[in-house]
Amino acid sequence: MQQTSIAPLAPVTSGQRLQSLDVLRGFALLGILLMNIEAFVGPIAASFSGVDPVLSGKDRWMDALIYVLVQGKFFTLFSLLFGMGFAVMAQRAAAARRPLAGLYWRRSLVLLGIGLLHGLLLWSGDILLTYALLSLLLLAFADASTRTLLVVAVLSLLAPIAMMMALGLVGSLLQANPASAAQWQQLMAEQAGTVPALIEAQRLAYGSGSYAQANLQRVHDVVVSLSGLTFTGPLVFGMFLLGAWFVRSGVIANPAAHRLLFSRLRWLALPAGLGLMLASLWLQPTADYSRLDLASALAFSLSTAAGVLMCLGYTAWLLRGLQQPWLAHRFAWLAPAGRMALTNYLLQSLVCTLIFNGYGLGYYEQLPRFWQPLLVLLLFAVQVVVSRLWLQAFRFGPMEWLWRCLTYLAWQPLRRAGHIIPAKNA
């Protein structure tokens, strides 16, 4: 019997990539920085609680605009893209008739290490650690049907909403009972008191502390962040599975063949999500950590659902733009930044912490909210240009190259074949 050779797994080449995914990653990078910039400029604990009640005038309007249109919409997009990447990797492993588990475990563990270093040494708002931990669960769905992926994704996305509504119901019932109301309010007041203390600790460590003091605070912040996985975990994992469904069903590879789906995402999901977000803003513009009842739980639930719907709406509109020749050429500029998403994400943390933290230039809490998006656009524009120039000479971004080398346990060629760097004059 003739033995059939088994093709080894290797990193995806530039010719095998879907440019639409790279454009989406580039777009997500911009949105992530728009969301994170407030947490670079000031205390992280104060940046994800809705509209800052201290702000006024144009700063308040900008804060509300970013909250409604950006916050919660782009880490979900990154999660969606992460799930797409997993599905592509699983398909390639199946086509090569190679086992996926060992390779994927290494990939996730390397990402875990990168996330830990990023969170502890650069910026504690890291999302990579969460992705790495949850990505290990994806292996259970490597061979799942598209129906299973979609059903479990929806259930996972609904889980944090159901949990929060249940807690809100418990809170409302306890407060309606005179015997338990005082005890419940005391418990909520004690919980709310930890937030100002955390904000002040971050202000001291990051605003005026040394690098060592900032790192000590980052350890605490990362632990606090991981404690929130009860709610963020199902949301991120649900988007992972939804991304895998987009690839396995063929939707992302051929949007033109699924016009009805993308039309509904553009014209129904996005407006519905925006409506839910505005309703959440009306119910509770700023998170009140001393309050947990049905109204506050509903505000959280509406904003969570809005984040998913608006993320999908943004994705559908961007893919629609890529189908228009006059727009596709312009959107293509985002692709190199998206191909270097890990490198650019880490560079955003490095540059911003050096600008704002006390051990850097020390501009902590000195950039008004209204002007923060301008800095984002300037930094991202530089990243787009530098990424384009870098990929003319190299196959991967620096961190993408390192991630692949450690994942495949093989030295990956970095320089493009035939590209020679001129020697410096003697």
Residue at 345: amino acid letter: Y
Has residue 189 got a pLDDT over 90? no
Confidence band (pLDDT; 50, 70, 90) for 406? Answer: very high
Kindly report the pTM of this predicted structure: 0.92
Task: For residues 362 and 206, give the distance between their C-alpha atoms in angstroms, rounded to a whole number.
Answer: 9
- Per the CB < 8 A criterion, the answer to whether 113 and 25 are in contact is no
Mean pLDDT along residues 394-417? 93
Task: Write down the pLDDT at residue 418.
Answer: 59
- Assess whether pLDDT exceeds 50 at residue 13: no
Give pLDDT tens digits for 327-384.
998 999 999 999 999 999 999 999 999 999 999 999 999 999 999 999 999 999 999 9
Query: Is residue 115 within 8 Å of 126, Cβ to Cβ?
Result: yes
Q: What is the CA radius of gyration of the chain?
A: 23
Question: Which pLDDT score, from 0 to 100, does residue 389 have?
Answer: 97
Cβ distance 82 to 259 under 8 Å? no
Closest listed residue to residue 123, CA positions, set 25, 234, 211: 211
Return all residues near 203 (Cβ < 8 A) that are at least 6 apart.
Answer: 42, 43, 364, 365
Strand partners, 415: 394
State the pLDDT at residue 99.
86
For the packed helices 211-227 and 229-248, what is the interaxial angle rounded to 10 degrees?
70
Q: For residue range 39-95, what is the model confidence (pLDDT) as tens digits?
A: 999 999 999 889 999 999 999 999 999 999 999 999 999 999 999 999 999 988 888
Write the burial class of residue 405 (CB in 10 Å: 0-12 exposed, 13-18 middle, 19+ buried): middle
- How far apart are the C-alpha atoms of 150 and 147, rounded to whole Å? 5
